[in-house]
Amino acid sequence: MTEPAEAADTPTARPRPNALGSILLTYLALLGFLAPLEGSIGLATYADWWNRALDWIVPRAGRALFGVEAVQHPTGSGDTAFQWVLSFCLLAVAVPLGALAARLPAARARAVRLAATGFVRLCLALALISYGAAKVYPSQFPPLAIDRLLQRVGDASPMGVLWTFMSASPAYTVLAGAAEILAGILLCARRTALLGALFAAGILANVFALNLCYDVPVKLYSGQLLLMALLVMVSDAARLLAVFVTGAPAPAARREALFERPLWHRATLALRTGLVAYALVTGLAECAADEAAFAARKADPLFGLWEVQRIEAEGDLRRTRYVVVDYPGVVAFLRDDATRTRYAATRDDVAGTLVLKERFREEVLLSLRVERKGEVVSLEGTASGAPVALDLRRIPVPPMRLHEHPFRLVQEYSANH
């Protein structure tokens, strides 16, 4: 990732950015200071300081401006009230800053624009590399859980259907992740930034559409990343129009240099290359460690599909037919109509206890003692204060067409079962 000719580039005269474009650029640059960037390069101290500030500012803004409780909490959603209020706050800051930047003297405005654009490009690259690493090693889309395979398709949420689709084909997931990593690497060099932005825009437009259509709660962030990709292409809009629409000769690319001294170019190039390499290596390493830990779940003595032999319970819990222990920290109960409930599970193998909570909440729903009796596992305790007892026997997972269907290059008939 070297660019020996970049230091020789000279500044070129371009029109001063308008206020709207400057505000958008400032807004996207401010987004770069959020969790996606600090999570990619591991600045734990910065992240703690930043989150403390946000926890003070955003809830107050939410109550004062919108009358909502915008509290930061880990629910797996990126479209919480907290994130929307935060986005509005950043936009409110970006408006005066962007308008001010647009009125700076030409030389200073140019330097600010180049620096902000470069920073946005780096943030986009790091985000794509991070998401790509989570697909190359199946961290984002792990193998399908047993309870997911036994669940009726009609009872799955739209997001669950999408996750099933992606997890069903590890090869496709790896290809999607490799494309995101490639786009991120291409974005890092000015010579290939336009190609990387085109790749990124196509990838992110598809991701944004999937998030919208399958109700995946990352609509806001994926839309922001798509805006970043489009912003990187703005300076080459005339060239793209000539190539793809009018057919006119496209002018040569004119790369603007932020610094006149070659030494500063080499220093920023080294810093950028180091950040990207660090993000790629650590991202892949963390996802590989996650995959290894996920694969080790099968060594759990409770792993598998358990059929209910006896149950003493009240209410809907009495209809439980199977208990599934598969994903780490998750226990699923499947009822006689194939509907399911997933619980966040905390086990203490020394004390022989199992505590089940509603996912993303602290309320304890079931508190159980676990006892092995030969091939039978007994669970006894309370469910919302009422006594409950289950005897479970492990059974083999039934054959699944989804797992056994072979790949065929030549097919005489459709296999749309």
Give the 3-state secondary structure of 173-228: HHHHHHHHHHHHHHHHCHHHHHHHHHHHHHHHHHHHHHHHHCCCCCHHHHHHHHHH
- 172 closest CA partner among 164, 200, 316, 87: 164
Pick the CATH number of 300-401 from 3.60.20.10, 3.65.10.10, 3.40.109.10, 2.40.128.20: 2.40.128.20
The pLDDT of residue 9 = 42
pLDDT at 39: 44
Gap between the Cα atoms of 392 and 306, Å rounded: 6
pLDDT at position 17, please? 55
Q: What residue ranges do the domains of the chain occupy?
A: 6-294, 300-401
Question: For position 47, what pLDDT does the model report?
Answer: 64
Mean pLDDT in each 10-residue stretch from start to end of the chain (417 residues)?
42 58 91 58 58 87 92 84 94 93 86 87 91 89 92 92 94 95 92 94 97 96 95 88 85 71 74 81 83 84 93 90 92 91 90 89 88 90 90 92 83 82
For 291, phi then psi, to 5°, come to -65, -40
Which pTM does this prediction carry? 0.86
Measured CA to CA, the distance from residue 185 to residue 188 in angstroms comes to: 5
The C-alpha atoms of residue 230 and residue 187 are separated, in whole angstroms, by: 12
pLDDT of residue 10: 41
